[in-house]
Structure 1
């Protein structure tokens, strides 16, 4: 049976307080020194052309097959000197990946509007009085870069990833969440289907299915199910904001999962705080704190509706287990911006960093 409707107002007030604490935890994380250092490190790696990305991936795959690198895909790549500037060096025996770098020359003119008036400047040559100087692309040259796995040296300022929950789930919570999935017209399965990849769960709106990894601990499975139920209830008819950017939808779903867990004395913060902070940081034009604050009302309503229809949903405290406003959880890996996939399915997984 659902929980007592008369307790809804009190429950919603406590959910609002939970969201305030979540916002404070995100703020503590994204303003921490470790988070800032990770952002600064990532900013040192410029985006490369599509052709060079293909070249890097192909050469890295060859190196992986030869046992020279530990992972099949590259992550951070940089030139020899740039790695030295970052306190790392290319390991002995590691060959660089050949790419095409722009070749530029300095040109000068006193009549910038005349295309045929530009003249090349020799090395060390200064422009004449009144001349304008620009850089001009005159060709390409071969250059070499190395993946971070080919280097050693100073440890990276790379924050840890969200930690999967361990142990048992609250009694009856899986069955209650599963019943709401079924009531919404979605078929629920637990599976080790390889199409899930690294995702813990997936909601497919076209196929009307929800899939949860079968090799997770019960606590992680039920938390993931709460996340997917939030997708089912909030994103079947996508809001404009959530449809515009997947990060907003992920922040909403995982925030609801935290509240469902807290209502059942379940501590999800080791996974949820890094996950929410990471996805919130992918939304351009807003700070992570602004993203979390903006979804607060929708999150509170969705969590309250779910709890009102769960047989065991009793929000006895407004405190997140193991979390206070002064706590600064360990930062997550910083995800890349990803929009909602065209097949209208949403995967519950930490996004992978681009090379």
Structure 2
């Protein structure tokens, strides 16, 4: 039985309900710990947008409170037909989790460099000879996904878990991060102590296009720092006005990228210190704190997902059931930290 939430609502009402729920959930992310826990949760569902991660989290918590799912932490989520393709079906009485799915349309232009020349193609309409065709998002629509615990059928394949000794870095992570830094035209400089770089653990110099990392730390701290600096390389620089005007924005983004990369490799992220979110989010002119947090979180998720997709390392699952994902993740049992992340991130919307 395929069941949807809010079936009596119009399309516009469903979108409005989702947006309200999302705004309340984002508004709860005001402290360093809340932000860290939400990012740890998002690291396990990085295949989804940050907004949809929060929506899934909130609705799974409600399903758990109602006794419809056995665990408070979701594992894998997919659409109705996707579960069928894996030999599983949605159980009778299980409502899907509403998320925001993009609506795309095709546009054509004979002069692609002229932004005003693009025209939208109708359904079934073919472009004219010599025209370039591109797809663009034109809106959002409600869609539904279900957690694996709401389905029955063929078992999902089990993957072996990577093990990590305290203080050590996951195999291949340093080299993978370093390769991505040099591929973006930055040199990598290893310094003996923090004194050489002004007391910091790492430093990104956009003028000389050089990343420095101190080596008098354990391996895990070194790769965390390298991931932080790669976040700066990818997201900041002279062409990023927000980062130039708001140092806090740049540091939170870079630290958050490192946090997500670390969480995806089951590195202990509790030692990360992320500044008080509201203090910098409320200082950006022309945007509400919720808008800044929302856009920053998605920038972080996108950057972290790009980094993780390019790494040849064993990682935890990204929330996509094995068989539908683009890569072979190494799933592990959920830990208490992401479970807290889910609960804290949606505490204002929970039952």
TM-score normalized with structure 1 length: 0.43
**Greater Cα radius of gyration, structure 1 or 2:** 1
TM-score normalized with structure 2 length: 0.43
Structure having greater relative contact order (Cα 8 Å, sep ≥ 6): 2
